[in-house]
Structure 1
Amino acid sequence: MGDFTNTLSVSASGLKAQSMRLRHVSENIANVDTPGYHRKVTSFEEVVSQENGATEVQLGPVQLDQKDLARIYDPNSPLADDNGYYDGSNVDLVVEIADAREAQRSYEANLKMFDQTRQMSAALLDLLRR
């Protein structure tokens, strides 16, 4: 049963990490038109669980994308400089939508693994009862 517990722990950590990743992607999408907004970039780290020794995944530190901000021409904006430009965000919607889909699919894969492990452990318990 220890292997089942480890598998459930690993898949649960994957679910949590992907949901946090999706949260940051959503924040990026919500701020696509926010002047001066830098895109949040996430990474993953391996950690060894203190409870069962399983290698799990967690979200690493969130960093801001240092790519140049878009220069937007709008002389009527209160943010505009003397030339009529201001700094927009560096969020690319195509990249964010692709990241969101990848996070969703990874979340679903971890959920399937969790469910399969739960079903296998239930079947094993049924066999042991006989």
Structure 2
Amino acid sequence: MSDFLNSLSVSASGLKAQAQRLRHVSENIANVDTPGYRRKTVPFESVARAGEGEGIVRTGRVKLDQSPLDQLYDPSHPLADANGHYDGSNVDLVIEIADAREAQRSYEANLKMFDQARQMSGSLLELLRR
């Protein structure tokens, strides 16, 4: 029964990690037009448990993308410098949509794995009752 609980905790940690990743992707998409906004990225870390081969996954510290900000020309903008340029964001909408789809598919895979482990443990308990 321990293996079932381990698989449930591993898939649950994957669900939580992908949900947090999707939250940051949605923040990036919401701020695509915010001047000076830097894209947020979330790394994953594997956490090995003592005496076990499997580990759970968790998210690391949120990092800001250090790629250069877009220089936008709009002399009427309040943040524009003397030449009429101001810093935009470094969020690429195409990349964010691809990341959102990847996070969604990974979330669904972890959910399916969680459901399979739950069904198998239910079937095992049903067999033990007989």
TM range (shorter): over 0.9
| TM-score, length of structure 1 as denominator length | 0.96
1:42 aligns with 2:32: no
The residue aligned with 1:85 is 85
Which secondary structure does the structure 2 equivalent of 1:33 belong to? coil
Once the two structures are aligned, what percentage of the paired residues are identical? 72
Unaligned residue ranges in structure 2 (runs of 5+): none
Which secondary structure does the structure 2 equivalent of 1:119 belong to? helix
Question: 1:69-92 CA distances to partner (integer Å, 9 max, x unpaired)?
Answer: 000000001100010000000000
Q: 4+ residue stretches of structure 1 with deviation over 2 A?
A: none
Which secondary structure does the structure 2 equivalent of 1:26 belong to? helix
Letter in 2 for 1:30: A
Which secondary structure does the structure 2 equivalent of 1:86 belong to? strand
Q: Distance in 1 between matches of 2:60 and 2:105?
A: 20
Q: Distance in 2 between matches of 1:49 and 1:29?
A: 35
- How many Å apart are 1:42 and its aligned residue? 1.1
Which secondary structure does the structure 1 equivalent of 2:106 belong to? helix
The residue aligned with 2:109 is 109
Kindly tell me the number of residue pairs found equivalent between the two proteins: 129
- How many Å apart are 1:61 and its aligned residue? 1.1
Question: 1:59-113 CA distances to partner (integer Å, 9 max, x unpaired)?
Answer: 0111000000000000001100010000000000000000000000000000000
| TM-score, length of structure 2 as denominator length | 0.96
